Chains A and B, each alone.
Chain A
Amino acid sequence: MASSTSITGLFSRLSLLSRNTTTATMKTATTTPTPRLFSTTSSFLARKAPPPASGGSAPKAARRNRQAPKSENFFRIRTLRRNMFSPAPPPLRMARLRYLRHWTIHRAWQLFRRKQHEAIDKERSRMHAGMYNACEELRKTVGPGSRGEGYLYRVAMEKKGVYGLEGVPIEYARFQTDSPAKEAWNHEWKR
């Protein structure tokens, strides 16, 4: 009994809802007779429709614009605008032997880069292996004095103070340069 009443009530509510919505859409359709627009953003709606092309108001506005004072960047902009659309140069054309030479140069460069990368890889893995072996030996070491096995290793693995602002001194952030400084090294540095 209760279930049946609830179901009917629900149906009635549904029908009410649908009736309300249909009336609302009908109202809006009647109040706005303009055709549907692609964009309904506020700025677009605020824009006025263009005036009919019969009056002489549009050319007047253009003349007013032309008489406006030139901006300070006028000449710069003119130079840029004149040269912005310079035609693109033609693609590289090479004869057969010239192209073969180009291809050979390209392949040689790829080979060169490959060798460099492999050397870098090898160097890094060698340095890592050195560290790994040292740490492995340290792990099996009975520490200084009465310390137990692996104590030094545990301390070495700690990262306290390694990172952060104080981690790397600013003097270390020196770039390598093509030519040395006038005084290449400060031998007289004193603490």
Chain B
Amino acid sequence: MAASSRGSRAVRGIFSSSPTICSRCATTRFYSAAAATETKASVTDAAPPPASTKTPYPYDIRSGLVLTRPPLLTRTLHPFENAYYFYQKRLEERLNTPFITSIYFKPDTAAQLDWSLKVQERGGTVAKELGTYHGKSSKAWDDELKVGDQLSSQESVLNSLLKDAAARVSDDAEVIAPEDVVPVERPAERLSEADKKNDVRRLDRQMERTLYLVVKGPDGWGFPADVLKDENLHEGAKRVMDQAAGVNMNTWLVGRVPVAHVVQEPVLGKDGEVQKMGQKTFFIKGRIMAGQADLKGNPFGYTDFKWLTREELEKELAPEYFRGVRNMMADR
């Protein structure tokens, strides 16, 4: 056959809508859309399938947005991880070739003096964060820490690196007096002001976790969502975000595929007429990179917003609502 038979199949689909013919032969299906519902309808056989008899679809389709702030900080390492890395570094001290100063420092320079001064203070250990330990000496076997020794913690590693980073010899190759040594600026704390005050509206809280934007509407807390108005899901999500939380956020919708859905079943009368419309809410995932939500003048009646982690959301959201959206949330 030279020509494709797709057209004839399409025409057949339009003309024949009798339930005796199997749906695969009768209709053109995109992505096997009709299969599940039509088979269900033919099994019950009480009411004709809703799509074919043009009864109104008993669901409102809503598009929502789960706006997330990705973690800003790396995760806190488990104490076992710290201890293991420290152990491996000391084993490495036993196994490496000796550090040759003349390769890295020119003789009689300020850098060389600075380095030798620091190494002397460390008791001759080249590594900065391993305490006094010589991998090549006769005491090399003594490479284990005692129980409760804090030397392997992140804090002590940071302190030893900071101590090493401060310049001890001036550019004129003169040793700086200990009271004149300018300490290196400490990096900012991982626990922010917003964490200490538990300010759930700030975005710099819980910086090693993902935060989710929830808003307080007429039906309690939830993600911003609205009924679709002849638009696609991602367009609807974009509109909801701009209308509800303002445009002053640098955001990115990760894809067009919904990541979660919440279904509210319709209330049907005895003869099948719809008494109360159901709701199908599909959530698109978004990421925020800068800015802050602003609910001023939003048309949905949202009164408050929060940036919450997964555990806090579990307490805040209704249980069935949380069950719908919890799968899209990362562990961290």
Report which A residues bind B (CB closer than 8 A): 79-80, 83, 86, 88-89, 91-92, 94, 98, 101, 105, 108-109, 112, 119, 123, 126-127, 129-131, 133-135, 137-145, 147-150, 152-158, 162, 168-169, 171-172, 174, 176-182, 184-191
B35 CB to closest chain A CB (Å) equals 9
Residue on B nearest A183 in the bound complex, by CB: B204
Question: Contact residue range for chain B?
Answer: 35 or more
Could you tell me the distance between the alpha carbons of A84 and B249 in the complex, rounded to whole angstroms? 57
B255 touches A162 (CB 8 A): yes
Per-residue A-contact encoding for B62-105, CB less than 8 Å = 1, 0 else: 00000000011110001011001001000100111110101100
Instruction: Verify if B182 is at the interface (C-beta below 8 Å from A).
Output: no
Q: Which residues of B contact A190 (CB under 8 A)?
A: 248, 291
Which listed residue, B61, B204, B287, B327, touches A130 by the CB 8 Å rule? B327
Q: Which residues of A contact B287 (CB under 8 A)?
A: 172
B260 touches A180 (CB 8 A): no
Given the contacts A154-B30, A181-B188, A186-B291, A138 and B261 also touching, CB distance less than 8 Å: yes
Given the contacts A178-B187, A184-B192, A88 and B73 also touching, CB distance less than 8 Å: no
Q: Which residues of A contact B31 (CB under 8 A)?
A: 139, 150, 153-154, 157
Q: Which residues of B contact A185 (CB under 8 A)?
A: 72, 202-204, 290
Instruction: Verify if B247 is at the interface (C-beta below 8 Å from A).
Output: yes
B72 touches A176 (CB 8 A): yes
Could you tell me the distance between the alpha carbons of A144 and B230 in the complex, rounded to whole angstroms? 5
Given the contacts A89-B96, A149-B33, A184-B188, A131 and B248 also touching, CB distance less than 8 Å: no
Q: Which residues of A contact B259 (CB under 8 A)?
A: 127, 130-131, 134
Residue on A nearest B29 in the bound complex, by CB: A150
B136 touches A180 (CB 8 A): no
Given the contacts A130-B328, A149-B34, A180-B72, A137 and B263 also touching, CB distance less than 8 Å: yes
Could you tell me the distance between the alpha carbons of A101 and B33 in the complex, rounded to whole angstroms? 60
Instruction: Verify if B147 is at the interface (C-beta below 8 Å from A).
Output: no
